[in-house]
Every structure is written in structure tokens, then in C-alpha cells.
């Protein structure tokens, strides 16, 4: 059975936004090191498929295919990209598969097959939906020692409370934490 694992780069105050159009666009860059990248790639696992939304796919299409020959780029470029999109005919960066109209049902079926785990990264609109559907197995937060104050948060305001169990943590040379949690289900009051 395949797992779905959320990976999110996040500030201490919960902001995950870091694109070119964001006021503090490059806030993760000063914390990147080869050792940190190796830790992240190790956390992804020896083989993985990507689970991403269309905006993340389009954003990554502008970087990863031409990023060069290094372990993270090679892993991401060779991973099968399962994309949630209404425009599957325009998916060009492969290997790639469209998840079709019923995302939850498609992922339930895919989870029951043999293959690598899924890495869900950057697609915040999918995060809440898949947690609420009980499809997420692990949440890995890559926590940066920075407070941003404003920006997109990892979960929507309508998100249902969830219970997590701490699994492990790792630290990079620049103080970034890779915290892994197992998803246990709904938080009961």
C-alpha cells in the first residue's frame, strides 16, 4: 500500500508562500545547503511519485526541467507527476498523469496499488482536502527559523482539526528542522 506524505516548507509562524510574486519571495534561499538538500531528499525516500496541483505543476515546470544535473532535480524530474487539473492535454513535463475528475476516489485506488509513496508538496489546496478525506499518512514540515507575519498558510480556515503523532526530527546546518508526524485522524474534543 502506498502512502501519501505532505512536505511543506514553512516559517515558524505558519507561512508557506515563497514565489517570485510574494513580498519575501526568496526567504528559503539563505537556509539552503547541500547537507540540507541531502536531508530533504533522504526524507522523500529512495523513490517517490509527486502529487501536485496545476499551479504547482506550472510553477515547477519553469524551474525543475532545466535546473541541472544534481540529486534533487534528477529525483523530481524522474518522478511520475500526478496532477490535479482541468487541462490535462497541456501537461508536457513528464512522466505525468492526470488524476481525473474525482480526486479522492482516484487517490484511494492509487494508494491500494504497488509503487512508490506519493510526495505532496506546494499544493495547499490539496492538503486540507486530502487530510479531511483521511488519505494523508504523514506530514513533514520543513520549518525555517524565520517569522514572516503574512502570506499563505498551510491550511484553510475551514480545515477540520486533526491529530498527529510525532515520529522524528532532523536538523540542517542552518537550523532548518525536518519534523515528521504520523496522521492519526480527526481531533476529538
Residue 90 binned pLDDT confidence (cut-offs 50, 70, 90)? confident
Q: How confident is the model at residue 161 (pLDDT cuts 50, 70, 90)?
A: confident
Strand partners, 143: 10, 177
- Backbone phi, psi, residue 152, to 5°: -70, 140
**From 14-18, 95-99, 136-140, 154-158, the region with the lowest mean pLDDT:** 154-158
Q: Is the pLDDT of residue 21 over 70?
A: no
Task: Establish if 96 belongs to a structural domain.
Answer: yes
C-alpha cell at 138: 504523514
Cβ(183)–Cβ(164) below 8 Å: yes
Greater pLDDT, 54 or 101? 54
The verdict on residue 186 lying in a domain is: no
Chain centre distance of CA 30: 20
Residue 79 has pLDDT above 90, yes or no: yes
d(CA 163, CA 2): 21
What is the structure's pLDDT at 119? 95
Q: Is residue 60 part of a domain?
A: yes
* pLDDT classification of 156: cutoffs 50, 70, 90: low
Torsion of CA 176, 180, 181, 182, to 10 degrees: 160
Percent of the chain with pLDDT over 90: 51
Q: Is residue 13 part of a domain?
A: yes
Could you tell me if 144 and 27 are in contact, meaning their C-beta atoms sit under 8 angstroms apart? Answer: yes
Residue 187 lies in a domain: no
CATH of the domain at 21: 3.40.430.10
Q: If pLDDT is split at 50, 70 and 90, which confidence band does 170 have?
A: very high
Burial 21-35 (b: 16+ CB within 10 A, else e): eeeeeebbeebeeee
Instruction: Dig out the grid coordinates for 51 from the structure.
Output: 502529487
Taking the chain, what is the end-to-end CA distance rounded to the nearest angstrom? 31
Residue 128's pLDDT band (boundaries 50, 70, 90)?
Answer: confident
Looking at residue 181, its pLDDT comes to 97
Please state the rounded mean pLDDT for residues 106-126.
90
According to DSSP, the β-strands at 162-171 and 177-186 are antiparallel
Q: Residue 40 CA to chain centroid, in angstroms?
A: 11
Task: Establish if 63 belongs to a structural domain.
Answer: yes
**Is pTM, for the whole model, over 0.85?**
yes
Task: For residue 150, tell me if it sits in a domain.
Answer: yes
Domain span at 21 = 4-134+145-158
Please give the tally of structural domains in the chain: 1
Between 124-132 and 103-111, two packed helices, what is the crossing angle to 10 degrees? 70
Q: What pLDDT is stored for residue 112 in this prediction?
A: 94
pLDDT number for residue 86:
84
- What is the enclosing helix (H) or strand (E) of 108? helix 103-111
Q: What is the pLDDT of residue 69?
A: 93
What rounded mean pLDDT belongs to the chain? 89
So what's the pLDDT on residue 164?
Answer: 94
CA distances to 49, 76, 121, 144 from 91, rounded to whole Å, are 16, 16, 18, 32
Amino acid at each position: 500500500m502506498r502512502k501519501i506524505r505532505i512536505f511543506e516548507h514553512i516559517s515558524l509562524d505558519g507561512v508557506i508562500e515563497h514565489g517570485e510574486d510574494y513580498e519575501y519571495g526568496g526567504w528559503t534561499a539563505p537556509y539552503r545547503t547541500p547537507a540540507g538538500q541531502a536531508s530533504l531528499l533522504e526524507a522523500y525516500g529512495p523513490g517517490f511519485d509527486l502529487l501536485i496541483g496545476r499551479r504547482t505543476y506550472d510553477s515547477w515546470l519553469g524551474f525543475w526541467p532545466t535546473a541541472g544535473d544534481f540529486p534533487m532535480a534528477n529525483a523530481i524530474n524522474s518522478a511520475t507527476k500526478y496532477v490535479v487539473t482541468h487541462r490535462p492535454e497541456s501537461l508536457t513535463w513528464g512522466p505525468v498523469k492526470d488524476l481525473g475528475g474525482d480526486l479522492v476516489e482516484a487517490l484511494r485506488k492509487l494508494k491500494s496499488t504497488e509503487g512508490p509513496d506519493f510526495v505532496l508538496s506546494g499544493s495547499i489546496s490539496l492538503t486540507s482536502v486530502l487530510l479531511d478525506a483521511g488519505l494523508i499518512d504523514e506530514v513533514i514540515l520543513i520549518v525555517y527559523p524565520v517569522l514572516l507575519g503574512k502570506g499563505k498558510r498551510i491550511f484553510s480556515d475551514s480545515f477540520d482539526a486533526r491529530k498527529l503523532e510525532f515520529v522524528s526530527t532532523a536538523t540542517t546546518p542552518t537550523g532548518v528542522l525536518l519534523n515528521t508526524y504520523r496522521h492519526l485522524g480527526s481531533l476529538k474534543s
